[in-house]
Chains A and B, each alone.
Chain A
């Protein structure tokens, strides 16, 4: 079973920041938080991952709370092409498989 809880859907205006929350209250010390997204009819696309510290790359920023029980994925300037289902996944260090939940369907509106 997925170890994360995400809202089923969110809306965001084009050009604004999209902040996608994820709860993972049972996360263990060696478990990473991964984010993927899936645009309609495509395979999941890796976005970012982190363990304890906040992370940033060219796609997004990942903010992990100090107690590691929740995190937020931030898309700083959402575009229409960011409309997708976003999956937050807790992955045990050394574990091979990803356990997906149902994710958050983000709709970016013009």
Chain B
């Protein structure tokens, strides 16, 4: 079946701009996660949704970062006033429930100039 999909695959923006990154989880998966991966590092947890609600947003670095999942399926990660340090690959994963194996999408490469 279809895996986790993320759009766009690449996003280039200028410092100070607003960006939205989209994640489509595997159908039927109630849990959705966002991670961020900087060059040469492993992925770092940002936020976890169970259904429509953010169950754990402890990994969001500051209040410029926000994520929503209004209907419990697709999620959007929103970054305001982007900074060059936000440049990274943003990964989305989903699982059947919060304790099950997580399956990752291909990621969105964000470049802030």
Contact = CB atoms under 8 A, between A and B. Distances in A.
Interface of A: 2, 34, 36, 42-46, 49, 87, 93-103
The 5 closest A-B pairs by CB, nearest first: A100-B42, A43-B104, A97-B45, A96-B98, A96-B48
Given A97-B45, A99-B45, A46 B101 contact: yes
A2 B42 contact: yes
Contacts, number: 54
A101 B42 contact: yes
Interface of B: 4, 31, 33, 35, 40-45, 48, 50, 55-56, 59, 91, 93, 98-99, 101-107
A36 B101 CA distance: 11
Given A96-B33, A97-B56, A97-B59, A45 B104 contact: yes
Nearest to B48: A96
A94 B107 CA distance: 25
Contacts of B42: 2, 87, 100-103
Nearest to B91: A43
A81 B17 CA distance: 38
Nearest to A34: B101
B43 A100 contact: yes
A43 B105 contact: yes
A1 B65 CA distance: 22
Contacts of A46: 101-104
Contact of B106 (A43, A87, A96): A43
Contacts of A101: 42
Given A44-B91, A87-B42, A96 B56 contact: yes
Contacts of A95: 99
Contacts of B91: 43-44
A34 B33 CA distance: 17
Contacts of B44: 100
Contacts of A2: 42
A102 B31 CA distance: 25
Contacts of B93: 43-44
A103 B104 CA distance: 17
